[in-house]
Amino acid sequence: MVIHIVGARPQFIKLAPVIHAFKKTGLPYKIVHTGQHYDYTMSDMHFETLNLPAPDYHLDIGSGSHARQTAMMLEEIEKVLINEKPSLVLVYGDTNSTLAGSLCAAKLGVPVGHVEAGVRSFDRNMPEEINRIITDHISQYHFCPTQNAMDLLKKEGIEGILSGDVMYDALIEFSQISVTLPYCSPFILTTIHRAENTNNPGRFMNIWEGLTMIARDIPVIFPMHPRTRDLYPDMLKSSADGITIIEPVSYLYMLAMIRDAACIVTDSGGVQKEAFLLKTPCVTVRDTTEWPETVEAGANTMIDTGPESIYNAAMEMMQSAVFDHANPFGNGEAGINIARYIKHTCMD
């Protein structure tokens, strides 16, 4: 039996194609939800939208410092693994849930499979980068989304398995569902939630000013992460003309917004990739990216947090983004590739 450990919105999306493939191949499994994301709009809504079964274990860890959150996860995950005695633990992406799940399993001698292995931003100031590196180096099975991830792992002495990207599987399946948006085109879609931008008021205010400059020309829609909203409640009560702040939306709704936007301004890794796959120009407000394939293709650009830089990059990308590059994220069968590999290689 395989234990899937997830805890944050991007992981629920990555989990969906794998669980659907597990059902098709008859693999036994249970789901552990750490509760890292616990707000309805960041958790339960996505289980419902993605047709995922309710978690077998919900640990209700909640928020906290990285050390406290990870420690609490380790303690609770250990209880589950001792009770269930799985043949394999699967972890996803780069969150504290990923780190805690892989570390706990490794300490108990349970093999670990890492879905989205080999991804690197080369910025160790990002907690996610530390989580990725540690997880890869204590995992036995490394399911890589791209050839670039395979190559990066090889440089670290690790042989990966080129599965393709499970988020591409999810996008293919769920982007076919019709969603009508209440927004008139054109509009800019923005998501800003990374600690490097939100924990630094100077950086965040620069980004905000850049968005207000854009909004003078084109309306900006900002589905706001609860953490960002909590950090800047007073300023956001009086949002700038042209910027519409909304609650986080379902995965289906988000795909429709990315599809219909004139351009994306984001610091999200997943949104960069979804914009590329849905052929929407993207401006990434970060110093590095874990998806350099999107930049090399000409569909995404990295930019600093200067307001003028953000404005100019958005205006330029709407005119110059390129989408004729080959898709590096597989053929939409990553979930079934992972399930078949596990069934034939990892199970007792």
Give the residue ranges of DSSP H helices in the chain: 9-25, 44-49, 66-84, 96-107, 127-138, 147-155, 166-174, 195-198, 201-215, 226-231, 233-237, 251-260, 269-277, 292-296, 307-320, 334-341
Q: What are phi and psi of 101, to 5 degrees?
A: -65, -45
- Which stretch of DSSP H or E encloses residue 283? strand 282-284
Task: Classify the phi-psi angles of 35: left when phi > 0, otherwise alpha if psi is within -120 to 50, otherwise beta.
Answer: left
Residues 6 or more apart from 347 whose CB is under 8 A from it? Answer: 2, 27, 87, 88
Angle between helices 127-138 and 96-107 (to 10 degrees): 30
Catalytic residue list contains 193: yes
Strand 2-6, strand 88-92: pairing: parallel
Give the integer Cα–Cα distance in Å for 99 and 235.
34
Q: 193, 225, 325, 344: which is the annotated catalytic residue? A: 193
Residues 6 or more apart from 155 whose CB is under 8 A from it? Answer: none
Here the tokens at position 6 are 């997830």
Residues 6 or more apart from 333 whose CB is under 8 A from it? Answer: 164, 169
The single residue listed with the structure tokens 């504290």 is 96
Are 341 and 177 spatial neighbours (Cβ–Cβ below 8 Å)?
Answer: no
Question: Known catalytic residues?
Answer: 193
